[in-house]
Structure 1
Amino acid sequence: MSVPTFRWKHLSSAKGDLPVPPGSDQQTLCLVGDIDWDGRMDILIGCRNAPPALVWYRQETRGKWGVYLVEADAIPLEAGGALADIDGDGDLDIVAGGDYRHDAVYWWENPYPHYAPDKPWKRHLIKTGQGTQHHDQIFGDFDGDGKLELVFWNQGAGKLFWAPIPKEPRAGEWQRYVVFEGAGEGLAKADIDGDGRDEILAGGRWFDYEKGNWTHVLIDPAQSHPRIVAADFDGDRRVEVVMVPGDANGRLMLYRFQGDPRRSENWHGEDLLKTEVIHGHTLEVADFNRDGRPDLFCAEMRCCTAGDDNPQARAWVLLNNGRGGFTPVEVLRGHDWHEGRVADIDGDGYPDLICKPYNWQTPRLDIWLMSNQPTEASRRK
């Protein structure tokens, strides 16, 4: 495969291109979606230690951003978060949970079309008690009833919970059920077994709902706290799973199964970068060269455990050849990728990069707009 050269336009709050995020020096969550139904992507930033806990960057016109309140109080939010239409009115609502000091999970009701920069959204309770820390949430129809359910980790309780959205989601806490008891992070969804229904990927395992019960299959015990994505990368009509440790050092691994995916011994991993990834807290799937194949984006944190201890933090695009092989291209160095996202921010059809650091030069937000189609370099691999 030819090695492409990607070209980016860098926007940063540190340079005055974007508004500086209000809030604290610990930015925990980052989500991207069309919040106000105008066809343009917006960005949500959550933090802890100081108010406001949650804001959204509204793309008021193409490339012009305003910062709007979601949560004015100083709720210590954990990494993760998810977007879904919880109340059935068509717009995207927000879910996020507390960190190691806070035992609640909340959802915020999108007030579309009545937005004001200084007016917070209405907050509703999903869960309280049983334990603190809620690193990662996801929505999906995991029981096949045609309705969305919320799945979330509760690390302080040592549990993974499943909570169907109730008919009256504003009425109080949601009924929740235990999927798994044990330590873990990371959430994704995919139809692993080909039954037409999504299963849960979490903490190095996949979970299947059958007749009211949850079963799980261990893919890799070394990936208990990963970032996770899944797609059919090699065109064989079966899903492959990619994981990388988010809060530790480890390998970016692609897992395939041969035979029955319900048997752990049928899963086999491949090291995609052939190098150790340092706190790879960003992992996304997107088609970077517009060839119709899912590619990968993986990036490291800069401030991991002891201040600025990874100053050459790397970010890679891994281009998929459609046959199960990837060409890694290092695209950036020196930034703090914590819950980074990939989305078409400027509406040109190409994926852009959204970088929300955790505690490096925070508060801060960076965007890299793909400035044109990647060109093919003369060097070949």
Structure 2
Amino acid sequence: MDRFEFFRCALRVRRIGVSPLGSILCISFALIFSSLVFAGDTSPKSSEHPLGSAPPTRFDFDGDRKADLAVFRPLEGTWYISNSSSQNMSAYRFGASGDLPVAADYDGDGKADVAVFRNGVWYRLFSQTFTVDAISFGVAMDKPAPADYDGDGKADVAVFRPSDGTWYRLASSNSAFSAIRFGTDGDIPVPGDYDGDQKADVNLFRPNAGTWYRLNSSAGSYSAMQFGAFGDRPILGDFDGDGKSDLAVWRPSTGVWYIQKSSDWTYFIAAFGLPTDIPVAADYDGDGKTDIAVYRPADGVWHRINSSNGSYQASVWGTGSDMPIAGDTVPVQGPSSFTCNFYASPNGTAAGNGTTANPWDLQTALGKTSVVTNGKTLCLKGGTYTGKFRSPLINAVVRSAPGESAKLDGYRTTTLTAAITATQTNFTVADGSNYLNGGPDNLVIEGEVIKVFSRSGNTITDCLRGASNSMNGAEPHAAGSTAITGGDVLYIEGSGSTYRDLEIMNSRPSRDGNIANQGIGRGSGVVVVGDGNKLVNLVVHDNLNGIFTSSVSSSTEIYGCLVYNNGVHSRDGGTVENGHGHGLYLENRAGYSRVYEDIVLNSFKLGAQGYGVTGPYVGGDFAGSAFANSGAPLGKFGDVNIRNYNLLVGPDSQRSATAIVRNSYFYHPASSMGYMLGFGYGAGVVTGTITDNYFIGGGTLLATGNTTNATITGNHFYSSRVGAQYTLVAPGQNYNWNQNTYYGAASRNVFGVAGSSLYQFPNWRAVTNFDALSSETSAAMPDTVIVRPNSYQPGRANVIIYSFSGAPTVAIDLSSTGLVNGQSYTIRNAQNFNGPAVVTGIFNSASPTVSVSLTGVAATVATPLGYSFTPATTCPQFCPMIVVPN
């Protein structure tokens, strides 16, 4: 029989500056932990192991130099701690739902103190005196980063503010305040003693680059080191026991730990954990070395490897809704934190001052390069910004204002006030304000492009008639003719800036390139010519190209973007309607092109291409992205099964040094002959990597061309189409092609070598010497659900569903999305993102799986704007969805 002991502890509120927590209840009882007897122990004891010169052990609540198992239950606001010294349990009702646990030794007694961070206020229960402290330090969206920065043996209150990349610290030794600019939005603070001087160093991990940046407290020196990869989680710990924090990451996708020991700079790599686990590394066995450990929310089990003897240990402590206190370096904090420094509005003016009460218009705001810089954030108030815009901003952030949605619509028109001849270069329009204001300098009338050189008010005073890309040169136009603002919706010529959480589109009511200029007239959604820019969580649709990075750009990151229905059609002087415009058109001159966690659907031509006719594409990395149904809108003209490449890599101009396609998802209907991935096109690729992808449906799944060296491993292939070709490769290649899975391939001629007939799997292996450790099946690919969390917005995730079983529903596990218990969310259909929600709900971490229908709303498709044809849904065989936190 379990024994329950309840007791109330009298506490003193030592500092009154905010409302106290109310009653703080200390309880000790078994609760969910069966077959155990717990005895409460509330008397504060002195540590049995004096601190001396050694820092306290993290998460050691009883002072025995061993980290304790501890969880915070948000629904109750209760801490449950398993004391390693006595095996007793302590429970403290201290906090509330939404609080962030920030346990650390704030009073220097060698024991971790129970503490929470709530909307910029720190509440701490000191273990030495059992008193409560409440201190306002920070704002709601700061990331708490407590550590001993001044070396007095006490953790200091500190926060990292992502909006301006600043660390704010309050020294416990003398209450001195300090602020240091180090980092940017998206960075994760990982303060630790990396130089061994017993003071925590300002240190952060940049997840999109896998790079650690540090300011050493001992010498004030700066260091940067790439250790890790996109999606890794940084881990704080001294794994070799030399008194210095080591560089360490845990890779959720594989459960692998990567550790670089500071003592000898050797590497330690170990697979331990599942993708849904939470890393909880700490010194649980008291040997002075951090132990590898994970907490499994599904069953509340802590799994660890003791560094002292290498033994494995599993302990039940917690439930699915609990937060492990040792979990991660920074707890999941809900919506991304940021502060608006300046504002633009659809109703803003050039005479505004950029405040929320007196905002700028968008083009004026984008031109404020002297003030919107150095990490400052320009927030766009909700509504539609009509026109074409140029951004020369450097080191800035442009995003929708909190809780609002900003849309850039490139379709802006005016009219001619009088007829003009084909040679006239001076004429008046009804509204000329959108020209030569720092933004566009082209206008389009029917098929003619007119380049504007000067204007006065609404009068164009000088221009070039019949400019480049005009359909028929210069032409006369009648009074009242519609003049469309030409160019690209958002043209980025600055550098080092982030554009995020915006909708970028063109509502022009025609896609027909046979009767009107659709190139300059419609324009691409986003064009990047600057260096080091980021496009994050954009929704880009119904433009010419969705996103174009030019041949003079470098190091662009495209992350979490939904790109669909981009392109136009024309006969190009012939009789067949051709598609023009891609989802992503990528060139670059240097650095990299990072395409991470994007969904690209229903492009009129290609889904994406790393390609240039004369411009270079030096290489890039495609990871975690989905490409599907490219070419489908051309079904309007008779062949509903027409499809094009979902992804093409390789320029005509010059060879790409390297290109990577990994952990990505491809789909064409089995009724189509479309290509999934063409790799090594044109001049080709020197070194290629194609790993852990899904190539599903269509006619040709993977075609490798002009590629010198290639690693092609861990991929999944399946198409039920008669005559499908799973692979196409040039003869005589010496590639690392292995450990792939070919569903539905048994006894089928689906493996191709150029110049030969298709092979069955055994002959394919014999001819190519590939796939020695790969497998084939006769069965269809099993139903598969992949959840891809978004690194820039906790709670957001892409969901990729493949289903060939005919099941009407699938189960989606939301536990890895970053949603917090009690947070509302919406699951949207990526094929009809602005349509009705597929599911809305409240996240329950104890029951994180939701059932989602693959029919009804999930099977709807957005009709391209200005078009009279809607591509058929790919659901249920392929259902891309997006989880969005509310």
TM-score by length of 1: 0.48
More strand by share: 1
TM-score by length of 2: 0.24
Higher Rg of the two aligned structures: 2
